[in-house]
Amino acid sequence: MTERLGSVFIENVQPELDAGRYAIKRVAGESLTVRADIFKEGHDVLVAIARWRQVTPAAQKTDWAEVPLTFKNNDAWEGSIPLANNGRYEFTIEAWPDLFRTWAHELKRKVDAGRDVKSELLEGAALLEGAAARAKGKSAEDHRVLAEAGARLRTPPSPDHLLAALSPELADAASRHPDRALACKYDKVLQVFADREKARNAAWYEFFPRSAKRDGKTHGTFKDAQAWLPYVQKLGFDTVYLPPIHPIGRTARKGKNNSLRALPGDVGSPWAIGAAEGGHKAVHPELGTLADFRAFTDAAKAHGIEVALDLAFQCAPDHPYVKEHPEWFQHRPDGTIKTAENPPKRYEDIVNFDWMGPARDALWKELKSVVLHWVDNGVRTFRVDNPHTKPMQFWHWLIREVQDLHPDVLFLSEAFTRPKVMKALAKVGFTQSYTYFTWRLFKDELRTYLEEITSPPVSDYFRGNLWPNTPDILPENLQNAGPGAFRLRVALASTLSSVWGMYSGYELCEGRPVPGKEEYLDSEKYQLVAWDWDRPGNISEWIAKLNAARKAHPALQQYQGLRFFESDNDRVVFYGKRSPDGLSTVLVAVSLDPYAPQEALLHVPMEWLGVNAEETYQVHELMADQRSLWQGPDVQVRLTPEQPASIWAVYRYRRTEHAFDYFE
């Protein structure tokens, strides 16, 4: 709907999320394409603009600016708003009739029909005089041109007068000074948040620093964990995600394999946060000090890696908050504090906050200070544990409060829950989201799901971070499976989305489950683990090649624009991506069979590639580092468990002054 100042209608404004309640997501450096249906009764020539401004951070706040919208077809208009900086923007749409162009258009038709136009010329003179008055003090040249043209139209008409009245230059001058009193404004001010680039393009590697000694016996430190960084860099990851690094509770501490009874020396779950040594702002003493953590983040940065920290808003029973602020927690009728439950599961080592209770203001303020504490200590990315078990209102408030001060902070939602809840978390502000990819195994379901989350309207607010495994989840397709299963799933995760991650041990094809469950046997959540990076059968080189392909080819750094294409084998999925400038194009074929070779006839999308059927073009297969010349729409491929994926960078010939060159 529109604000009825005039008779122009503004409808179907896109992108708009839940009637403007939440912000659309984009990346700084992009432009936001705005579309709307704009129309008016009659045959008036219309003008439409998008008004926009940056509103956060405060230091980069701007005044309102305007960009023109262009008429496309069938009353549809479109334009682009520049999003130069990281931060929050506002935008809306305004439209009005261009009185002088409408008059000039009708005048020409009347003249062509041989009509007497003396009265019309006086109408035009009045329009030009009004525009000249509005130009005064803004543009001396426009004021002069408009005033002189208006005066001429009040003299006896002549062919020269008519020719001058219909000149495009005069219409342009009049249009620069419209009568905005006739404008209609869209009745909402919409928002877009421009994240930094890593919101859209990142590869995450999760490991427990307490296992950094790799012997399964000795508790590691941040200093020990620094030794992992060259290895992580070699694999091609640019984000290291650490589970909670805080003191671990002793009350009801879990033992190995989630045992209810901890034995002496059992390290407990890092998600049971808080003990006598401190809470969410403290560092576990066996890991080191806050200074040691800062040294670790500095070392990671030197390797081109950013550190992401787990944000788990829950407490062990002996967290300092429990004694200092019992009013922040849920209590049973007998006065005891409730432990966390997800029946039939019960988490005896965790108690939950009373999120919407009478002390919520103080509680929320304290939890905000936790985030800002770690931001002050160099953390700019948080993986948020189980956000779907906390109120949406809290996340909407917290994320906006933090990003208004620090727009470069990113939040990953770890919520494997109902689809609408996952999407709602993305709407209220989470930068990235875990997905159902972990359980999407077959061709049709992969295509349906990935098309949904990488295309508007979902992709306007939801960025899927694809994980084939996590410390919590060892999916059945990886349990006791050979390297082929691990190769194909990581190939899918790293190329279907521009953001993906994996938990350490994946590269070693670790797949021993708790019988009958999607859980790791001897889970690192409850004990130290001995990791042998050189374990026979590891797929580290395969993963490094995948990440190298992502870094080298901008097409794989795009979240939107995923296109699926046809293959004649239901066990081979075929898809492609292209960069917005069209200079990088990649095709990918992945076998979904981890045990046997699969052959497929791929139907190459010639029109999408911009290639004629008779044209020869070069492809570079990145995993095997082989180049070929292709021609025509059909390509035969053979994929094996040893190489279940092929990634082709597509190159076309380009004629130069003296020869032919390739361009991607």
| Whether 28 contacts 195, CB under 8 Å | yes
**Mean pLDDT value of segment 433-445:** 97
Q: Indicate the range of 5-19, 195-209, 429-443, 520-534 predicted with least confidence.
A: 5-19
Domain boundaries, the chain: 1-98+183-195, 113-177, 197-552, 562-652
Of the candidates 525, 417, 508, the residue with the CA atom closest to the CA atom of residue 472: 525
Q: In this model, does residue 534 exceed pLDDT 80?
A: yes
Q: Tokens 């009004």 — which residue?
A: 130
- Residue 654 phi/psi, 5-degree rounding, is -135, 125
What tokens does 194 get? 């421009």
What pLDDT is stored for residue 653 in this prediction? 53
Which residues are documented as binding site? Answer: 254, 314, 349, 386, 525-526
Superfamily for the 1-98+183-195 domain: Immunoglobulins (2.60.40.10)
Q: Which residues are catalytic?
A: 385, 414
Peptide bond just before 344 cis, omega within 30 deg? yes
Nearest-Å Rg of the Cα atoms of the chain is 31
Q: Under 8 Å CB-to-CB from 214, ≥6 apart: which residues? A: 220, 530, 531, 532
Least confident of 153-157, 402-406, 421-425, 531-535: 153-157
How confident is the model over 261-283, as a mean pLDDT? 96
Over residues 171-180, mean pLDDT: 92
Confidence category of residue 661, pLDDT binned at 50, 70, 90: very low
257: left (phi over 0), alpha (psi -120 to 50) or beta: left
Q: What are the residues facing 96 on neighbouring strands?
A: 47
Which residues contact residue 408 at a Cβ distance below 8 angstroms, ignoring those fewer than 6 apart?
86, 196, 380
Q: What is the CATH number of domain 562-652?
A: 2.60.40.1180
In 250-323 the beta strands, taken as DSSP E runs, fall at 306-311
Q: Quick check: 357 pLDDT over 80? A: yes
Rounded-to-integer distance, Cα 377 and Cα 297, Å: 9
Residue the block writes with tokens 């390797």: 303
Spatial contact of 430 and 382, defined as CB atoms under 8 Å apart:
no
pLDDT digits 0-9 by tens, 571-623: 999 999 999 999 999 999 999 999 999 999 999 999 999 999 889 999 999 99
CB neighbours of 278 closer than 8 A, spacing ≥ 6? 246, 247, 320
For residue 450, the Cα-to-chain-centroid distance in whole angstroms is: 14
Helix (H, G, I), strand (E, B) or coil at 37: strand
> Which of 176, 97, 94 shows the shortest CA–CA distance to 141?
176
Work out the mean pLDDT of the chain and round it to a whole number: 94
**Two tokens at 386?**
């189980």
* Right CATH for 113-177 from 1.10.1760, 3.40.50, 1.20.58, 1.10.10: 1.20.58
> What pLDDT is recorded for position 126?
95
3-state class (DSSP) for residue 392: helix
Beta-carbon contacts of 453 under 8 Å, excluding residues fewer than 6 positions away, are 435, 459, 462, 464
pTM: 0.93
Residues within the annotated binding site for alpha-maltose 1-phosphate?
254, 314, 349, 386, 525-526
pLDDT on residue 342: 74
Please state, in angstroms and as integers, the Cα–Cα distance from residue 134 to each residue in 127, 140, 179, following that order: 11, 11, 8
Q: Given pLDDT bands bounded at 50, 70 and 90, which one contains residue 339?
A: confident
Domain spanning 197-552: CATH superfamily: Glycosidases (3.20.20.80)
Helix (H) or strand (E) holding 615: none
pLDDT the model gives residue 76: 97
For residue 524, give Cα distances in angstroms to 243, 267, 473, 530: 11, 10, 12, 10
The mean pLDDT of 343-353, rounded to a whole number, is 84
User: Do 113-177 and 197-552 have matching folds?
Assistant: no
Which residue from 551, 606, 542 is spatially nearest to 584, judged by alpha carbons? 551
Torsion of CA 127, 129, 135, 137, to 10 degrees: -160
Q: Measured between alpha carbons, how far is residue 567 from residues 573, 620, 634, 650 in Å?
A: 7, 20, 9, 18
Could you tell me if 369 and 297 are in contact, meaning their C-beta atoms sit under 8 angstroms apart?
no
Query: So what's the pLDDT on residue 4?
Result: 44
Which residues lie closer than 8 Å to 103 by C-beta, 6 or more apart?
A: 120, 123, 124, 127
- Among residues 20, 14, 18, 26, the alpha carbon closest in space to that of 424 is found at 18
Q: For 384-413, give one letter per residue: b (16+ CB within 10 A) or e.
A: bbbbbebeeebbbebbbebbeebbbbbbbb
pLDDT band at residue 6 using 50, 70 and 90 as cut-offs = low
Per residue in 78-127, pLDDT (tens digit) is: 999 999 999 999 999 999 999 999 999 998 888 888 888 889 889 999 99
Residue 117 has a pLDDT of 85
pLDDT more than 70, % of the chain: 97
State mean pLDDT over 158-171: 84
